[in-house]
Amino acid sequence: MKKTKIGAFAALFLICCAASASTTEVKESVSGSVDFVKTASDNKKQSASVVFANRLQKELNANNLKGAIALCEKSPDVLEKDPELKTLLCALYFSDGQYDKVISNAEAVLEKNDKNIEALELISMANHAKGDRKAYQATAQRILAVDPYNPSVNIQQGQDYAVAKKYKLARTSYAKALKGDSKNEDALFGFAQMSYYLNDVDSSKRTFEKIIEQNPESAISYAYLGKLSAEDQNYLRAESLVKKAISLEPSNYDYYMDLGNYLRSQGKFDAAAATWQKAASLDPTYFLAYAYLAGIYDERDMFDKALENYHMVIKTNPKYFYAYEETAILEYHAGNYQNAISYFNKAYEYSQSLSYKLMIAACFYKMKKPLDAKNVLIPVLKTLNRDSLDYLMARFYSDGFNHNAENALIQRIEKEENSQKKGKMQFYMGLFAEVMGGDSGALDWYAKVTAMQAPMFFEYRIAEWAMKAAAEKKE
């Protein structure tokens, strides 16, 4: 049960109060609130019920939760045992987070009518809010025994299954809720969302469209329809749909992130970047927009802006490992070797890859600090198998150039069967040649790396940059 259901309880109770008063008419507004209009004959003293109802209406209209609760607790004797009032009071307690009072008052209602669904729902939701799973499940079963397709319970069970990523069970629960109330928007949304997760595109699309038919201002339904269009590679329609969602909820971070993706997929890179910048402005403390911005700037060789945004990723999400590696690479490319060392060290804290230590050693060599390069690798050598290729490479970097060691290492690399491993080691042979001043030898090795098909290691980018720089120098 949601807090918005309080209005329904309030309206029901106020109508009941007024029905017994011959001197008062009841007018229910479009918004669901209740107004009491005096008739010409209303010159007599109003009943206690109507006076109470008017006062309660005033508190509810003012959103004065505490005041409404206090009024109910001090209600006239004639109303103290009224089940509608008790139920309304339970709903007020629920909104105020007084879950034990919800349960005790709802149980009092059930003493008179053990099949009162509203009271059972309130107990169920209070137990769920308290985290008392056993009591919640027991109450849910009491409700389902009376009403198997009860929307409230089935929706809550659907949400629980969804959190546990049991999407099929969640969708089944939402389907049951829809049997109880075919127009329930929460149930429709849950069913549509679970269908989306289960890749049942047609069911998801139909259900989101049904929600919009009922509620044309359902921003999230437009957003999901945009996702479905994007998965069908109809990015223009996806863009239109998510823009509709944004027009309804202009401060929704996720919608701007989606819009940026759709624009990027259409090749509208500047527009995508502007959209992610908007998302970042909406929540400067969240890392995702910065990560997307860093990526798009990096792809377009706008390295200064990429670095700026990777730094923001690290600031807003220090545990985002990938950002340390990317920042280190770009700092290295910019010639900021001390910064690169810092970020490679940070990346090493999350993943003890020899690559990071070799890059740190290379940075020290470029800074003319060979002793520091050696000291970086000495502790690492103790952790490696002496017969491994990793050990031979780390030893080569640590000891400095040795012709015999180089030949042995080259032979070992040529025998390596794993193409990714072989490519990485070819890169480090080239990098070592570079830091030792052998530019032509370095390019020979880098050429072998860049000739690979879709390598999956970060060193490939550095080899590409080196080859590109050499080509530009020749021109």
User: What's the rounded Cα separation, in Å, for the pair 91 and 388?
Assistant: 68
Q: What would the pLDDT profile of 300-348 be if each residue is shown by its tens digit?
A: 999 999 999 999 999 999 999 899 999 999 999 999 999 999 999 999 9
User: Which of the residue ranges 50-59, 149-158, 341-350, 448-457 has the most confident prediction, judged by mean pLDDT?
Assistant: 341-350
Determine, yes or no, domain membership for 32.
yes
User: What's the rounded Cα separation, in Å, for the pair 298 and 306?
Assistant: 5
Q: What is the DSSP string of 403-444?
A: HHHHHHHHHHHHH---HHHHHHHHHHHHHHHHHTT-HHHHHH
User: What's the rounded Cα separation, in Å, for the pair 273 and 197?
Assistant: 28
User: Mean per-residue pLDDT for 144-162?
Assistant: 91
Taking the CA atoms of the chain, what radius of gyration do you get in angstroms? Answer: 34
User: Mean per-residue pLDDT for 200-208?
Assistant: 97
Determine, yes or no, domain membership for 38.
yes
Q: What would the pLDDT profile of 247-280 be if each residue is shown by its tens digit?
A: 999 999 999 999 999 999 999 999 999 999 999 9
- Mean of the per-residue pLDDT values for the chain? 87
User: Mean per-residue pLDDT for 388-400?
Assistant: 92
User: What's the rounded Cα separation, in Å, for the pair 45 and 23?
Assistant: 9
User: What's the rounded Cα separation, in Å, for the pair 73 and 86?
Assistant: 10
Largest CA distance in the chain: 114
CB count within 10 Å of CB 139 equals 23
Q: Is the pLDDT of residue 436 over 70?
A: yes
User: Mean per-residue pLDDT for 342-359?
Assistant: 96
Model confidence, pTM:
0.76
Q: How confident is the model at residue 454 (pLDDT cuts 50, 70, 90)?
A: confident
CB count within 10 Å of CB 361 equals 28
Nearest-CA neighbor of 362 among 400, 389, 325, 330?
A: 400
Structural domain that includes position 107 = 1-132
pLDDT value at position 98?
92
pLDDT value at position 328?
97
Strand partners, 24: 38
Of all residues in the chain, what percent carry a pLDDT higher than 90? 64
Determine, yes or no, domain membership for 81.
yes
Q: Is the pLDDT of residue 141 over 70?
A: yes
CB count within 10 Å of CB 418 equals 10
Domains: count for the chain: 1
User: Mean per-residue pLDDT for 415-438?
Assistant: 93
Determine, yes or no, domain membership for 219.
no
Q: Is the pLDDT of residue 53 over 80?
A: no
Determine, yes or no, domain membership for 127.
yes
The answer to which of 6-15, 120-129, 170-179, 208-217 has the lowest mean pLDDT is: 6-15
User: Which of the residue ranges 8-17, 29-38, 108-117, 270-279 has the most confident prediction, judged by mean pLDDT?
Assistant: 270-279
Q: How confident is the model at residue 298 (pLDDT cuts 50, 70, 90)?
A: very high
Q: How confident is the model at residue 80 (pLDDT cuts 50, 70, 90)?
A: low
User: What's the rounded Cα separation, in Å, for the pair 328 and 431?
Assistant: 16
User: Is the CB of residue 251 less than 8 Å from the CB of residue 282?
Assistant: yes
User: Mean per-residue pLDDT for 30-36?
Assistant: 41
Determine, yes or no, domain membership for 102.
yes
User: What's the rounded Cα separation, in Å, for the pair 314 and 307?
Assistant: 11
Q: Which residue has the tokens 């201002």?
A: 217
Residue 393, classed as helix, strand or coil, is helix
Q: How confident is the model at residue 40 (pLDDT cuts 50, 70, 90)?
A: very low
pLDDT value at position 475?
67
User: What's the rounded Cα separation, in Å, for the pair 449 and 452?
Assistant: 6
pLDDT value at position 227?
97
Q: Is the pLDDT of residue 180 over 90?
A: yes
Determine, yes or no, domain membership for 97.
yes
pLDDT value at position 120?
86
Of all residues in the chain, what percent carry a pLDDT higher than 70? 88
User: Is the CB of residue 424 less than 8 Å from the CB of residue 460?
Assistant: no
User: Mean per-residue pLDDT for 80-89?
Assistant: 77
More confidently predicted of 407 and 358: 358
pLDDT value at position 50?
75
| CA atoms lying within 13 Å on the CB side of residue 356 | 22
Q: How confident is the model at residue 169 (pLDDT cuts 50, 70, 90)?
A: very high
Q: What is the DSSP string of 203-267?
A: HHHHHHHHHHHH-TT-HHHHHHHHHHHHHTT-HHHHHHHHHHHHHH-TT-HHHHHHHHHHHHHTT
User: Which of the residue ranges 21-30, 76-85, 460-469 has the most confident prediction, judged by mean pLDDT?
Assistant: 460-469
Provide φ and ψ at 28, rounded to 5°: -95, 125
pLDDT value at position 421?
94
More confidently predicted of 172 and 399: 172
User: What's the rounded Cα separation, in Å, for the pair 313 and 287?
Assistant: 5
User: What's the rounded Cα separation, in Å, for the pair 296 and 279?
Assistant: 15
pLDDT value at position 26?
36
| CA atoms lying within 13 Å on the CB side of residue 364 | 21
User: Mean per-residue pLDDT for 226-234?
Assistant: 96
Determine, yes or no, domain membership for 163.
no
pLDDT value at position 6?
52
CATH of the domain at 78: 1.25.40.10
Q: Is the pLDDT of residue 30 over 50?
A: no
Q: How confident is the model at residue 41 (pLDDT cuts 50, 70, 90)?
A: very low
Nearest-CA neighbor of 143 among 153, 155, 134, 135?
A: 153
Strand partners, 27: 35
User: Going by C-beta distance under 8 Å and a sequence separation of 6 or more, which residues neighbour residue 211?
Assistant: 185, 188, 189, 192, 218, 221
